[in-house]
Chain A
Amino acid sequence: MSRPEQIAPPEIFYNDIESRKYTASSRVQHIQAKMTLRALDLLNLEEDKSHFLLDVGCGSGLSGEILTEEGHVWIGMDISADMLATAIDRDIDGDMFLADMGCGVPFRAGTFDAAISISAIQWLCNADTNTNEPKFRLARFFNTLYSSLRKGGKFVGQFYPANEDQTVQITSAAKVAGFQCGVVIDDPESRKNRKHYLVLQAGSSARPLNVDGMEVEKMNGKQVAAQKLTKVSKKRLKAMETKKEYIKRKKILNEKRGKEVRKDSKFTGRARKARF
Protein backbone atom coordinates (compact mmCIF):
# COMPACT_ATOMS: atom_id res chain seq x y z
CA MET A 1 0.00 0.00 0.00
CA SER A 2 1.54 3.33 -0.96
CA ARG A 3 1.33 6.25 1.41
CA PRO A 4 -1.11 9.08 0.60
CA GLU A 5 1.72 11.58 1.16
CA GLN A 6 3.54 10.13 -1.82
CA ILE A 7 0.60 10.30 -4.19
CA ALA A 8 -0.31 14.00 -4.25
CA PRO A 9 -0.39 17.11 -2.05
CA PRO A 10 -3.05 16.81 0.69
CA GLU A 11 -5.56 19.26 -0.78
CA ILE A 12 -5.46 17.25 -3.99
CA PHE A 13 -5.32 13.79 -2.47
CA TYR A 14 -8.29 14.55 -0.22
CA ASN A 15 -10.60 15.57 -3.04
CA ASP A 16 -14.36 15.19 -2.98
CA ILE A 17 -14.41 11.48 -3.74
CA GLU A 18 -11.55 10.52 -1.44
CA SER A 19 -12.97 12.65 1.41
CA ARG A 20 -16.31 10.92 1.23
CA LYS A 21 -14.80 7.48 0.87
CA TYR A 22 -12.48 8.09 3.80
CA THR A 23 -15.23 9.44 6.04
CA ALA A 24 -17.85 6.84 5.21
CA SER A 25 -15.61 3.88 6.03
CA SER A 26 -16.59 2.42 9.38
CA ARG A 27 -13.10 0.94 9.64
CA VAL A 28 -11.55 4.41 9.31
CA GLN A 29 -14.12 5.92 11.70
CA HIS A 30 -13.29 3.35 14.33
CA ILE A 31 -9.52 3.74 14.03
CA GLN A 32 -9.65 7.55 14.09
CA ALA A 33 -11.97 7.48 17.11
CA LYS A 34 -9.67 5.09 18.96
CA MET A 35 -6.63 7.20 18.27
CA THR A 36 -8.39 10.39 19.33
CA LEU A 37 -9.42 8.80 22.62
CA ARG A 38 -5.87 7.62 23.14
CA ALA A 39 -4.61 11.14 22.41
CA LEU A 40 -7.03 12.49 25.04
CA ASP A 41 -5.84 9.85 27.46
CA LEU A 42 -2.25 11.02 26.97
CA LEU A 43 -3.27 14.70 27.22
CA ASN A 44 -4.59 14.06 30.70
CA LEU A 45 -6.96 17.02 30.84
CA GLU A 46 -9.00 17.63 33.96
CA GLU A 47 -11.95 15.25 33.95
CA ASP A 48 -15.51 16.51 33.54
CA LYS A 49 -14.48 19.93 32.36
CA SER A 50 -14.91 21.43 28.89
CA HIS A 51 -11.64 22.58 27.41
CA PHE A 52 -10.93 24.81 24.45
CA LEU A 53 -8.97 22.68 21.97
CA LEU A 54 -7.39 22.84 18.54
CA ASP A 55 -7.56 19.94 16.08
CA VAL A 56 -4.80 20.26 13.48
CA GLY A 57 -5.67 18.56 10.21
CA CYS A 58 -9.24 18.05 11.44
CA GLY A 59 -10.40 16.68 8.08
CA SER A 60 -14.05 15.69 8.00
CA GLY A 61 -14.32 15.78 11.78
CA LEU A 62 -13.83 12.12 12.72
CA SER A 63 -11.34 13.12 15.40
CA GLY A 64 -13.21 16.29 16.35
CA GLU A 65 -16.52 14.58 16.95
CA ILE A 66 -14.85 12.58 19.69
CA LEU A 67 -13.71 15.85 21.26
CA THR A 68 -17.33 17.01 21.18
CA GLU A 69 -18.53 13.74 22.69
CA GLU A 70 -16.04 14.21 25.50
CA GLY A 71 -17.52 17.66 26.16
CA HIS A 72 -14.86 19.90 24.62
CA VAL A 73 -15.22 22.95 22.40
CA TRP A 74 -12.78 22.99 19.51
CA ILE A 75 -11.49 24.75 16.43
CA GLY A 76 -10.22 22.67 13.55
CA MET A 77 -7.96 23.58 10.68
CA ASP A 78 -7.41 21.68 7.48
CA ILE A 79 -5.94 22.29 4.06
CA SER A 80 -8.57 20.33 2.13
CA ALA A 81 -11.78 22.16 1.21
CA ASP A 82 -13.41 18.85 0.35
CA MET A 83 -12.66 17.37 3.76
CA LEU A 84 -14.22 20.42 5.40
CA ALA A 85 -17.20 20.19 3.06
CA THR A 86 -17.69 16.60 4.17
CA ALA A 87 -17.51 17.79 7.79
CA ILE A 88 -20.27 20.32 7.20
CA ASP A 89 -22.43 17.62 5.66
CA ARG A 90 -22.01 15.65 8.84
CA ASP A 91 -23.08 18.57 11.04
CA ILE A 92 -19.87 18.60 13.02
CA ASP A 93 -19.88 20.89 16.06
CA GLY A 94 -16.36 22.33 15.94
CA ASP A 95 -15.53 25.52 14.13
CA MET A 96 -13.45 24.61 11.12
CA PHE A 97 -11.46 26.67 8.67
CA LEU A 98 -9.10 26.23 5.77
CA ALA A 99 -5.44 26.69 6.57
CA ASP A 100 -2.08 25.12 5.93
CA MET A 101 -0.42 24.07 9.17
CA GLY A 102 2.94 24.49 7.44
CA CYS A 103 2.23 28.22 7.29
CA GLY A 104 1.57 28.27 11.01
CA VAL A 105 -1.23 28.04 13.53
CA PRO A 106 -2.74 31.54 13.31
CA PHE A 107 -3.92 32.23 16.85
CA ARG A 108 -2.95 34.77 19.43
CA ALA A 109 -0.81 33.68 22.35
CA GLY A 110 -2.42 31.49 24.96
CA THR A 111 -5.56 30.60 23.01
CA PHE A 112 -5.90 26.86 23.61
CA ASP A 113 -5.79 24.61 26.64
CA ALA A 114 -4.40 21.87 24.44
CA ALA A 115 -4.20 20.67 20.86
CA ILE A 116 -4.43 17.37 19.08
CA SER A 117 -3.70 16.12 15.61
CA ILE A 118 -4.71 12.72 14.29
CA SER A 119 -2.96 11.26 11.23
CA ALA A 120 -1.87 14.57 9.78
CA ILE A 121 1.52 15.94 10.77
CA GLN A 122 3.53 13.45 8.70
CA TRP A 123 2.36 15.53 5.74
CA LEU A 124 4.72 18.27 6.91
CA CYS A 125 7.70 16.10 6.04
CA ASN A 126 6.76 16.06 2.37
CA ALA A 127 8.32 18.39 -0.12
CA ASP A 128 5.45 17.86 -2.51
CA THR A 129 5.65 21.21 -4.26
CA ASN A 130 8.72 23.24 -5.05
CA THR A 131 7.73 25.82 -2.47
CA ASN A 132 7.48 23.22 0.28
CA GLU A 133 10.52 23.10 2.46
CA PRO A 134 9.82 20.64 5.25
CA LYS A 135 12.38 22.13 7.58
CA PHE A 136 10.86 25.61 7.48
CA ARG A 137 7.33 24.33 7.55
CA LEU A 138 7.97 22.14 10.58
CA ALA A 139 9.64 25.05 12.38
CA ARG A 140 6.79 27.40 11.53
CA PHE A 141 4.21 24.87 12.66
CA PHE A 142 5.78 24.09 16.03
CA ASN A 143 6.73 27.70 16.82
CA THR A 144 3.21 28.96 16.26
CA LEU A 145 1.64 25.92 17.93
CA TYR A 146 3.74 26.67 21.00
CA SER A 147 2.56 30.24 21.25
CA SER A 148 -1.08 29.35 20.57
CA LEU A 149 -1.14 27.20 23.72
CA ARG A 150 -1.60 28.46 27.24
CA LYS A 151 1.30 28.13 29.63
CA GLY A 152 1.87 24.45 30.33
CA GLY A 153 -0.35 23.66 27.34
CA LYS A 154 -0.11 20.22 25.81
CA PHE A 155 -0.22 18.68 22.37
CA VAL A 156 -0.65 15.05 21.35
CA GLY A 157 -0.36 14.17 17.70
CA GLN A 158 -0.72 10.67 16.29
CA PHE A 159 1.27 10.48 13.08
CA TYR A 160 2.52 7.99 10.52
CA PRO A 161 6.25 8.46 10.07
CA ALA A 162 7.53 7.05 6.77
CA ASN A 163 10.84 6.21 8.44
CA GLU A 164 12.96 6.86 11.51
CA ASP A 165 14.36 9.96 9.93
CA GLN A 166 10.97 11.68 9.80
CA THR A 167 10.37 11.03 13.49
CA VAL A 168 13.71 12.65 14.27
CA GLN A 169 12.91 15.58 11.97
CA ILE A 170 9.61 16.13 13.76
CA THR A 171 10.89 15.77 17.32
CA SER A 172 13.89 18.02 16.65
CA ALA A 173 11.68 20.76 15.25
CA ALA A 174 9.36 20.49 18.27
CA LYS A 175 12.30 20.69 20.68
CA VAL A 176 13.78 23.71 18.96
CA ALA A 177 10.40 25.43 19.29
CA GLY A 178 10.73 25.00 23.06
CA PHE A 179 8.56 21.98 23.74
CA GLN A 180 9.33 19.19 26.15
CA CYS A 181 8.93 16.34 23.78
CA GLY A 182 8.70 12.60 23.32
CA VAL A 183 7.13 9.90 21.17
CA VAL A 184 4.94 7.15 22.62
CA ILE A 185 4.58 4.01 20.55
CA ASP A 186 1.48 1.87 21.09
CA ASP A 187 1.59 -1.74 19.94
CA PRO A 188 5.28 -1.47 19.09
CA GLU A 189 5.61 -5.14 18.24
CA SER A 190 2.89 -5.10 15.60
CA ARG A 191 3.96 -3.65 12.27
CA LYS A 192 0.35 -3.23 11.27
CA ASN A 193 -1.15 -1.75 14.42
CA ARG A 194 1.83 0.20 15.69
CA LYS A 195 0.92 3.84 16.38
CA HIS A 196 3.18 6.81 17.03
CA TYR A 197 2.07 9.67 19.25
CA LEU A 198 4.13 12.82 19.45
CA VAL A 199 3.63 14.21 22.96
CA LEU A 200 4.53 17.82 23.67
CA GLN A 201 4.27 20.09 26.64
CA ALA A 202 4.83 23.85 26.62
CA GLY A 203 6.65 24.24 29.92
CA SER A 204 5.72 22.69 33.21
CA SER A 205 2.09 21.97 33.89
CA ALA A 206 0.08 21.43 37.04
CA ARG A 207 -1.45 18.48 35.21
CA PRO A 208 1.31 17.07 33.04
CA LEU A 209 0.87 14.67 30.16
CA ASN A 210 -0.01 11.15 31.16
CA VAL A 211 2.78 9.23 29.48
CA ASP A 212 2.07 6.10 31.45
CA GLY A 213 3.55 7.65 34.55
CA MET A 214 6.67 8.95 32.84
CA GLU A 215 7.50 12.65 32.80
CA VAL A 216 7.76 14.08 29.32
CA GLU A 217 10.71 16.15 30.45
CA LYS A 218 12.64 12.96 31.05
CA MET A 219 11.78 11.63 27.61
CA ASN A 220 13.88 14.36 26.03
CA GLY A 221 12.75 13.70 22.52
CA LYS A 222 13.11 9.92 22.83
CA GLN A 223 10.71 7.25 21.74
CA VAL A 224 9.22 4.92 24.29
CA ALA A 225 6.99 1.91 24.01
CA ALA A 226 3.67 2.29 25.79
CA GLN A 227 3.59 0.53 29.13
CA LYS A 228 1.31 -2.35 29.82
CA LEU A 229 -1.02 -0.70 32.23
CA THR A 230 -2.21 -1.91 35.56
CA LYS A 231 -4.75 0.83 36.00
CA VAL A 232 -6.56 1.64 32.78
CA SER A 233 -8.22 5.02 32.38
CA LYS A 234 -11.79 5.34 31.14
CA LYS A 235 -10.63 6.90 27.90
CA ARG A 236 -8.02 4.26 27.30
CA LEU A 237 -10.67 1.64 27.90
CA LYS A 238 -12.98 3.27 25.40
CA ALA A 239 -10.10 3.44 22.95
CA MET A 240 -9.81 -0.31 23.24
CA GLU A 241 -13.38 -1.10 22.31
CA THR A 242 -13.92 -3.28 19.26
CA LYS A 243 -15.21 -2.00 15.95
CA LYS A 244 -18.54 -3.68 16.52
CA GLU A 245 -18.99 -2.09 19.93
CA TYR A 246 -17.96 1.23 18.44
CA ILE A 247 -20.51 1.12 15.64
CA LYS A 248 -23.22 0.18 18.07
CA ARG A 249 -22.34 3.02 20.40
CA LYS A 250 -22.26 5.49 17.48
CA LYS A 251 -25.62 4.35 16.23
CA ILE A 252 -27.28 4.91 19.57
CA LEU A 253 -25.59 8.26 19.92
CA ASN A 254 -26.73 9.42 16.51
CA GLU A 255 -30.24 8.28 17.09
CA LYS A 256 -30.28 10.16 20.36
CA ARG A 257 -29.22 13.30 18.59
CA GLY A 258 -31.67 12.80 15.75
CA LYS A 259 -28.92 13.50 13.30
CA GLU A 260 -29.57 13.44 9.62
CA VAL A 261 -26.75 13.44 7.15
CA ARG A 262 -27.05 15.79 4.24
CA LYS A 263 -25.75 15.15 0.81
CA ASP A 264 -25.21 18.37 -1.07
CA SER A 265 -21.94 19.38 -2.66
CA LYS A 266 -19.03 21.65 -1.57
CA PHE A 267 -20.07 24.34 0.89
CA THR A 268 -23.15 25.62 -0.87
CA GLY A 269 -26.52 25.10 0.71
CA ARG A 270 -24.81 23.90 3.82
CA ALA A 271 -25.92 26.74 6.00
CA ARG A 272 -27.57 25.16 8.98
CA LYS A 273 -30.99 26.10 10.14
CA ALA A 274 -31.28 29.62 11.44
CA ARG A 275 -33.08 30.35 14.66
CA PHE A 276 -35.00 33.25 13.24
Chain B
Amino acid sequence: MKFITSNFVRCAVKSCDGTEGSFPLNFQDCKLQLEEQEFNEEFIISMLERLDWSALVKVASQLGNNAIPPQKPSLDDINEVLLKDLHSLLLETQIIEGKMICDNCQHVYYIKDGIASFLLPPHLAK
Protein backbone atom coordinates (compact mmCIF):
# COMPACT_ATOMS: atom_id res chain seq x y z
CA MET B 1 0.00 0.00 0.00
CA LYS B 2 1.26 3.43 -0.92
CA PHE B 3 1.42 6.12 1.70
CA ILE B 4 -0.97 8.34 -0.24
CA THR B 5 -3.77 5.83 0.32
CA SER B 6 -3.43 6.19 4.10
CA ASN B 7 -4.57 9.77 3.74
CA PHE B 8 -7.88 8.76 2.19
CA VAL B 9 -8.86 5.25 3.22
CA ARG B 10 -11.07 4.80 6.25
CA CYS B 11 -12.56 1.92 8.21
CA ALA B 12 -14.88 -0.11 5.97
CA VAL B 13 -17.30 -1.11 8.70
CA LYS B 14 -20.68 0.49 8.15
CA SER B 15 -21.28 1.47 11.77
CA CYS B 16 -18.02 3.43 11.64
CA ASP B 17 -19.25 5.68 8.81
CA GLY B 18 -18.79 9.30 9.74
CA THR B 19 -17.20 8.58 13.12
CA GLU B 20 -14.08 10.45 14.04
CA GLY B 21 -12.08 7.34 14.87
CA SER B 22 -12.56 5.76 11.47
CA PHE B 23 -9.98 8.04 9.84
CA PRO B 24 -7.07 7.94 9.72
CA LEU B 25 -6.43 4.33 10.63
CA ASN B 26 -3.62 3.67 13.09
CA PHE B 27 -0.59 2.05 11.57
CA GLN B 28 1.40 -0.47 13.58
CA ASP B 29 4.33 -2.79 13.03
CA CYS B 30 4.86 -1.60 9.49
CA LYS B 31 7.65 -2.49 7.14
CA LEU B 32 8.39 0.06 4.46
CA GLN B 33 9.99 0.05 1.08
CA LEU B 34 10.79 2.82 -1.34
CA GLU B 35 9.94 2.30 -4.94
CA GLU B 36 10.90 4.86 -7.50
CA GLN B 37 8.08 6.59 -9.32
CA GLU B 38 8.10 9.23 -11.99
CA PHE B 39 7.88 12.71 -10.45
CA ASN B 40 4.74 14.52 -11.45
CA GLU B 41 4.97 17.98 -9.97
CA GLU B 42 1.61 19.15 -11.17
CA PHE B 43 -0.15 16.16 -9.60
CA ILE B 44 1.46 16.73 -6.20
CA ILE B 45 0.46 20.40 -6.29
CA SER B 46 -3.09 19.48 -7.20
CA MET B 47 -3.27 17.01 -4.31
CA LEU B 48 -1.95 19.43 -1.72
CA GLU B 49 -5.33 21.01 -1.10
CA ARG B 50 -6.97 17.62 -0.67
CA LEU B 51 -4.50 16.20 1.84
CA ASP B 52 -5.53 15.94 5.46
CA TRP B 53 -2.31 17.28 6.90
CA SER B 54 -2.83 16.25 10.51
CA ALA B 55 -3.62 12.69 9.37
CA LEU B 56 -0.48 12.78 7.23
CA VAL B 57 1.68 13.91 10.16
CA LYS B 58 0.14 11.30 12.44
CA VAL B 59 0.57 8.35 10.09
CA ALA B 60 4.07 9.41 9.07
CA SER B 61 5.06 9.47 12.73
CA GLN B 62 3.53 6.01 13.26
CA LEU B 63 5.74 4.86 10.42
CA GLY B 64 8.76 6.41 12.08
CA ASN B 65 9.02 9.71 10.26
CA ASN B 66 8.78 12.58 12.71
CA ALA B 67 10.26 15.18 10.41
CA ILE B 68 7.05 16.35 8.73
CA PRO B 69 6.29 20.05 9.34
CA PRO B 70 3.21 20.33 11.56
CA GLN B 71 1.51 22.82 9.26
CA LYS B 72 0.51 22.16 5.69
CA PRO B 73 2.81 24.17 3.39
CA SER B 74 0.88 26.84 1.57
CA LEU B 75 1.00 27.23 -2.18
CA ASP B 76 3.29 30.23 -1.64
CA ASP B 77 6.03 28.39 0.16
CA ILE B 78 6.19 25.30 -1.97
CA ASN B 79 9.36 24.69 -3.89
CA GLU B 80 10.81 21.85 -5.85
CA VAL B 81 12.58 20.26 -2.88
CA LEU B 82 9.42 20.19 -0.84
CA LEU B 83 7.38 18.79 -3.71
CA LYS B 84 9.91 16.06 -4.33
CA ASP B 85 9.86 15.14 -0.65
CA LEU B 86 6.09 14.97 -0.76
CA HIS B 87 6.22 12.89 -3.92
CA SER B 88 8.59 10.49 -2.27
CA LEU B 89 6.43 10.22 0.83
CA LEU B 90 3.09 9.90 -0.94
CA LEU B 91 3.86 7.83 -4.01
CA GLU B 92 7.20 6.15 -3.44
CA THR B 93 6.74 4.98 0.14
CA GLN B 94 5.16 1.55 0.19
CA ILE B 95 3.90 -0.16 3.31
CA ILE B 96 4.61 -3.80 2.59
CA GLU B 97 3.73 -5.36 5.93
CA GLY B 98 1.72 -4.07 8.85
CA LYS B 99 -1.55 -3.50 10.59
CA MET B 100 -4.12 -0.75 10.39
CA ILE B 101 -6.46 -0.34 13.32
CA CYS B 102 -9.69 1.62 13.51
CA ASP B 103 -9.89 3.84 16.59
CA ASN B 104 -13.66 3.51 16.62
CA CYS B 105 -14.29 -0.23 16.36
CA GLN B 106 -10.74 -1.53 16.91
CA HIS B 107 -10.95 -3.74 13.84
CA VAL B 108 -7.52 -4.70 12.57
CA TYR B 109 -6.79 -4.63 8.84
CA TYR B 110 -3.64 -6.35 7.65
CA ILE B 111 -1.15 -5.46 4.95
CA LYS B 112 0.74 -8.46 3.60
CA ASP B 113 3.20 -8.57 0.75
CA GLY B 114 2.29 -5.00 -0.13
CA ILE B 115 -1.44 -5.60 -0.41
CA ALA B 116 -3.85 -4.27 2.20
CA SER B 117 -7.02 -6.16 2.88
CA PHE B 118 -10.24 -4.32 3.65
CA LEU B 119 -12.33 -7.46 3.34
CA LEU B 120 -14.61 -7.75 6.33
CA PRO B 121 -15.56 -10.85 8.28
CA PRO B 122 -19.25 -11.75 7.76
CA HIS B 123 -20.46 -10.26 11.05
CA LEU B 124 -19.06 -6.84 10.10
CA ALA B 125 -19.96 -6.99 6.43
CA LYS B 126 -23.62 -5.99 6.79
Of A37-45, A99-107, A206-214, A239-247, the one touching chain B: A99-107
Contacting residues, chain A, for B50 (C-beta < 8 A): 52, 110-111
Complex Cα distance, B36 from A93, in Å, reads 11
CB-based contact B113/A97 at 8 Å: no
Taking chain A's interface residues, is the majority helix, strand, or loop, or is none over half, making it mixed?
loop
Interface residue? A219 (CB, 8 A): no
Of A73-81, A177-185, A221-229, A248-256, the one touching chain B: A73-81
Contacting residues, chain A, for B120 (C-beta < 8 A): 100, 103
Contacting residues, chain A, for B23 (C-beta < 8 A): 108
For residue B5, give the distance in angstroms from its CB to the closest CB of chain A. Answer: 5
Of B41-49, B58-66, B76-84, the one touching chain A: B41-49
Which of A79, A81, A106 is most buried by chain B, counting CB atoms within 10 A of its CB?
Answer: A106
Complex Cα distance, B40 from A266, in Å, reads 31
Interface residue? A7 (CB, 8 A): no
For residue A231, give the distance in angstroms from its CB to the closest CB of chain B. Answer: 27
Query: Interface readout for A119-136 with B: 1 if CB under 8 Å, 0 if not?
Result: 000000000000100001
Interface residue? B85 (CB, 8 A): no
For residue A58, give the distance in angstroms from its CB to the closest CB of chain B. Answer: 12
CB-based contact B34/A97 at 8 Å: no
Of all chain A residues, the one with the shortest Cβ separation from B92 is: A275
Which residues of chain A (62-80) have a CB below 8 Å from chain B? Answer: 71, 73, 75, 77, 79
Contacting residues, chain A, for B9 (C-beta < 8 A): 97, 106-108
CB-based contact A99/B125 at 8 Å: no
For residue A240, give the distance in angstroms from its CB to the closest CB of chain B. Answer: 28
CB-based contact B43/A73 at 8 Å: yes
Contacting residues, chain A, for B5 (C-beta < 8 A): 75, 95, 97
Complex Cα distance, B10 from A108, in Å, reads 6
CB-based contact B2/A95 at 8 Å: yes
CB-based contact A267/B126 at 8 Å: no
Of all chain A residues, the one with the shortest Cβ separation from B120 is: A103
Contacting residues, chain A, for B122 (C-beta < 8 A): 131
Which residues of chain A (100-158) have a CB below 8 Å from chain B? Answer: 100, 103-104, 106-108, 110-111, 131, 136, 140, 144
Complex Cα distance, B113 from A100, in Å, reads 19
Which residues of chain B (95-124) have a CB below 8 Å from chain A? Answer: 96, 112-120, 122
Query: Interface readout for A75-99 with B: 1 if CB under 8 Å, 0 if not?
Result: 1010101001000100001011111
For residue A173, give the distance in angstroms from its CB to the closest CB of chain B. Answer: 16
* Selected A-B contacts with CB under 8 Å, 7 pairs: A50-B43, A97-B5, A103-B120, A110-B50, A267-B115, A271-B33, A274-B34
Binding site for B on A (CB under 8 A): 49-50, 52, 71, 73, 75, 77, 79, 81, 84, 88, 93, 95-100, 103-104, 106-108, 110-111, 131, 136, 140, 144, 266-268, 270-276
